[in-house]
Structure 1
């Protein structure tokens, strides 16, 4: 249909790519007509350098391509937005049950060295253009029922980037190795996983071969592409841009990671202690969850057994580490170690109330790009583990009065199309304030250059233990109790009320001297499985497996407290993953073109006398552990009444404490939400030793904290 607003080439106005391309949905199934669709869709199979499964052929990586028809017809060369998302080709929804089913199962020994089989590249017999493939494309290649889920569709996020399609960008999505349609194994945090997605960037840039078919006979080029790629996505899909950026691959011009992981060790652990959800502490859980290749009906029993044996070996390798850092196991997923290879700028997006991917991750990413000398900006909102626009839920929040996708549009338009729009001049830090979510503030640097000292005014000692029942705590009320009162499980140290507002920005470091007071170390402190974890995962941190004392944990909270209730934005579920939103304007988030609008939303506030600002976990067996993940490699045997110095780095934050409010540091033992192994022990704290360095935005007076 003719429309005067449609264009055959991208149109840029006010520094933004405009919605001038027609749109045809790719989820119409049999009604999808490749001959007339305004968005050309097809799949390709990029050849990697690996033969992980040892079949003598290089592993292929399936890629789902969406491109405005005009680019495929040759009217212009499209820039590419790439989401590397291991979930997108399907998931294994039975992850928890599966881990229990295989916990005691015996597998053939899998040698991880076998992943490095060498195989010669394929020899093609012909080639095909993008249009050739598109005209033969079948929607069932990219949109069909997920065999590993009860009610989901594969590539369910096919709509996530429609905003960019109608503005002339190509959008590609891949699940990488181990996914249905691809070869190899899902190997969380490995160079194999990283390089699978690097290969896709190389294909777009014209440096690697892709095939039209799984057999690898007909090659196809991204003949519609200008060779410039931006990677984006949230969570796992926000992690892979960082991984690929640390390869320095040509063609990757920028990344926009949302809640991405900079280091897999400190995603799962923190200073020698467990940090993540108990049932998902083994990386093999996530590897299985993303391995939709299990549902490939063409695989033999041996091939399926090989995948399972690999996942089991992945579990065994992690069990040797316990909760400590091990370079061999964790090094490949510690992307910040390769910061010197980064060649592109980054726009980093993070929720300050994200308890899934911790805020420490965004800060480590930020420092890595600064170390590389690259332009890096941060947008920090008050939400949990979300993207500021949530297409799958039909809502979004405004970013300082702007649409989130318009901000990303401006950023990638500059770096992929070379439009001079001063995108690189945006503030180094743009942050949504905690006291007024409609107010956003800027900083020229994340590092403030100012620090406020919190120094103990108390003497003597405090003893805390792990008796949940005596403390009256559970996973449902841990924060409520710890934020408001001291118990046998947690000691609070509180400042006097602040006379003026103080803004914290950065990482708070708590210093203390502590000793194991009591506990039966020979019996591994009598471990109990309180969170229904499978028996294999329960071996993580067991002294009989790792050969050392492990996981004598303390949890640290920094809280905003007040004698009267106040409004705050905080999670409302026991897993600390949900902040409800309220619609403030139906259809308020404009996508443009032929696309429907989303609702404009705001975060729903709660009314309490406290708010957890940030938290941390640490193992008393790791007194050498500090901010850098690799410092958690060395553990010690604790002796009763033997004191050690600890320096505990809480997750990064940006938070304003209002006048009349106080700061409370809470030192506790186990946190039931994150407790995989409940143990019986007590810890003695030297009250006079407790002090904290608090980075603040302006010069502030020091404060005394007293045990209460």
Structure 2
């Protein structure tokens, strides 16, 4: 029975879906009653085309469905908001310890060709409607302790999208292959992973079979679905929308990726050098971390061993690449290569202070949509690795005075329900200002027509080495020291103070001539494990595994510096992932309907004489490497004193330098925060070769860099 005061069908006003549906919680365990719940919840098992685990049956993918009861009862057809998030069905919190164990274990040889063995589809023995299935649903399918992390529950994102449920959207969640309840193996950045989530879209569109049971006997259709799907999520869950979009799958009308990855290689590496956190460099680490299927008590020892053997072989394959791009290993996760297949629109969201998923990723996504000819818009905020609304932390930030979810609501109401609300007239770029977070600026294009050159006219050479102790540098103070003074590890090149403000927008390219000055390549420059990484991961940067010299790092920072302290938004933790927020209005983010409001928040600021705007890493062994990840394929053997030209592309940024401030280019050897293998070497740089090409929003005079 429909509750009084609520609607049976979606209602749109001012271009937005309104909160006209009642809500009941799905996290109440034993108290959840499928006969009375206003939100219908149940699980299905979508059949894929693969038999990754070799049991002779096509792998099934567990999917959690949440949909307003009215749609399940047939009063209207609901559009779907789909989050593909490999973490949601549980994680393996012992990931780091596990990686230390696997290096010494023996595994059977796993043949990757076995992943592609063809097996016939199942033949259903019957069918069941969504409503019939929902009435039999047990909340223990989606609400129980995570065996891999006893401090949390599985499907911890269950209520992240309640805002949309009370407005008539269905919310779909899946962890994909290798998760508890699903078959197959978690294979980070692969076609298999991508296609698992593509299969879910196909089921929602009516083009694929799903089953009501793990055995795959009784089929069930999304009979409440209008066939239109939007994918969204942050980080890994922001990556999968882009991956699936590059398949051109029918039914996927739009994506809203938040801090999503366009290319797995350049997420973990930059121009042949390591850029990610030392303990998380192997894809097998992330694959294991997301493999809650290890906790499936119905699996035999052989099935568990097969999973472990697969993940170990994944490690060995990556070790052979070192830090270079290898098309066979990395090509499937280079989604931008398939831009021509994109058939949907995108609202791309990114934090400009995100040091987890690099800002290069959103820019490559933008370039892919430009190539595709499809509509896209970009929202850039000053935060770190967050979504502008954070339900699990009970806060949100305003986007140019608007609620983030209202903006997404308008976007998906247009693309999924055909509401004419001028959503496509949003500016191509909407960006929060670094000097005033209450101010947002709009731009018709991410590309700029102007560049500013910063050139060093100084003679002679600069020599930098890797002696952290002599430089007084550690993971705790790297930015503080390097932004404000030159050391034996770092050299600053600084402009005179700017008389007028200058706005950088895009990717800065630093050109230098450099040579290896000293270091013993025959012993891999005396590698040291300063960050306690596992021994298997440590092999990534040594020549005896990859067969070639690897990861002789150059780190580059672009900094805003001033003689006076100034307020800025920047990360405050050693791993550069945390920007504190302050509440400015309790209950200021309105969710509507029966839902509680979140607090309106702003980013906390720090008061320093510098702010790191953006950074980059490059390997001296990869002089051919440029912006595109695939250019980092070829590495060379360095010879002492032999100079090479390097073109180092910093992560994309939008930043305004205020009058009286200067820009500093800092060239360093190793960054202790991102240093997997500490090595002993020194680098020589021709000072007059140092030239940065900076994209700017208006014509600006070139300037000189001075050694300081």
TM-score by length of 2: 1.00
3-state DSSP of counterpart to 2:316: helix
1:190 corresponds in structure 2 to: 190
The answer to whether structure 1 residue 148 and structure 2 residue 157 are counterparts is no
Specify the alignment match of 1:692 in structure 2: 692
Give the secondary-structure state (helix, strand or coil) at the position aligned to 1:150.
strand
Q: Give the SS at the match of 2:318.
A: helix
SS, match of residue 199 in structure 2: helix
| In the alignment, structure 1 residue 179 sits paired with structure 2 residue 179 | yes
Q: In the alignment, is the contact (CA less than 8 A) between 2:110 and 2:313 conserved in 1?
A: yes
Q: What's the counterpart of residue 330 of structure 1?
A: 330
Q: How far off its partner does 1:117 sit?
A: 1.5
Aligned to 1:482: 482
Measured after TM superposition, the shift of residue 2 of structure 1 is 6.6
Give the whole-Å Cα distance in 2 for the aligned partners of 1:481 and 1:255.
Answer: 41
> Can you list the C-alpha shifts for 1:320-343, whole angstroms capped at 9, x where unaligned?
000000000000000000000000
Shift of 1:150: 2.4
1:11 offset after TM fit, Å?
Answer: 0.1
> Aligned-pair distance for 1:4?
5.0
**How do residues 245-260 of structure 1 correspond to structure 2 at under 5 angstroms?**
245-260=245-260
Partner residue of 1:244? Answer: 244
Q: Residues of 1 paired with 2:457 and 2:4: CA distance?
A: 73
- Aligned partners of 2:353, 2:300: CA distance in 1, in Å? 45
Alignment of 1:348-387 (within 5 A): 348-387=348-387
Distance 2:314 2:143 in 1: 31
Task: Give SS of 2:241's match.
Answer: helix
Contact 2:353 2:384 in 1 (8 A): yes
Residue 66 of structure 1 corresponds to: 66
Secondary structure of the equivalent of 1:679? coil
Counterparts in 2 of 1:514-553, with a 5 A limit? 514-553=514-553
Q: Deviations over 1:22-56 (max 9, x none)?
A: 00000000000000000000000000000001100
In the TM superposition, residue 103 of structure 1 has moved relative to its aligned partner by 1.4
RMSD: 0.6
- In the aligned structure 1, how far is the partner of 2:316 from the partner of 2:114? 16
> Do the aligned partners of 2:492 and 2:664 also contact (CA within 8 Å) in 1?
yes
1:619 and 2:619 aligned:
yes
**Alpha-carbon distance in 2 for matches of 1:116, 1:152:** 35
Q: Equivalent residue of 1:600, what SS? A: strand
Alignment TM-score, normalising by the size of structure 1: 1.00
CA distance in 2, matches of 1:612, 1:458: 24
Does 1:398 pair with 2:398?
yes
The secondary structure found in structure 1 opposite 2:195 is helix
The Cα of 1:5 is off from its aligned counterpart by 3.5
Structure 1 unaligned segments of length 5 or more: list them: none
User: SS where residue 122 of structure 1 aligns?
Assistant: coil
1:457: Cα distance to partner? 2.0
Residue 636 of structure 1 is matched in structure 2 by: 636
Secondary structure of residue in 2 paired with 1:27: coil
Structure 2 segments unaligned to the other structure (5+ residues): none
Q: Give the Cα–Cα distance (whole angstroms) in 1 for the partners of residues 605 and 706 of structure 2.
A: 29
Aligned to 1:683: 683
Count of paired positions: 708
Query: Does the CA contact (< 8 Å) of 2:622 and 2:635 recur in 1?
Result: yes
Question: How far apart, CA to CA, are the structure 2 residues paired with 1:312 and 1:97?
Answer: 15
- Asked if the contact 1:104/1:535 (under 8 Å) is kept, the reply is no
Distance 1:543 1:391 in 2: 46
CA distance in structure 2 between the aligned counterparts of 1:393 and 1:503, rounded to whole angstroms: 33
Q: Partners of 2:347 and 2:90 in 1: how far apart?
A: 28
Partner of 1:122: 122
**Structure-2 separation of matches of 1:104 and 1:279:** 17
In 2, Cα distance between equivalents of 1:110 and 1:89 = 25
Counterparts in 2 of 1:317 and 1:70: CA distance versus 1, 3 Å: same
For residues 550-561 of structure 1, the aligned pairs below 5 Å read 550-561=550-561
Q: Secondary structure at the match of 2:176?
A: coil
Given that 2:2 and 2:8 are in contact with CA atoms closer than 8 Å, whether structure 1 keeps it comes out as no
Aligned: 1:296 with 2:317: no
Task: Give SS of 1:522's match.
Answer: helix
**Equivalent residue runs for 1:153-168 within 5 Å:** 153-168=153-168
- Distance in 2 between the 1:273 and 1:322 partners? 9
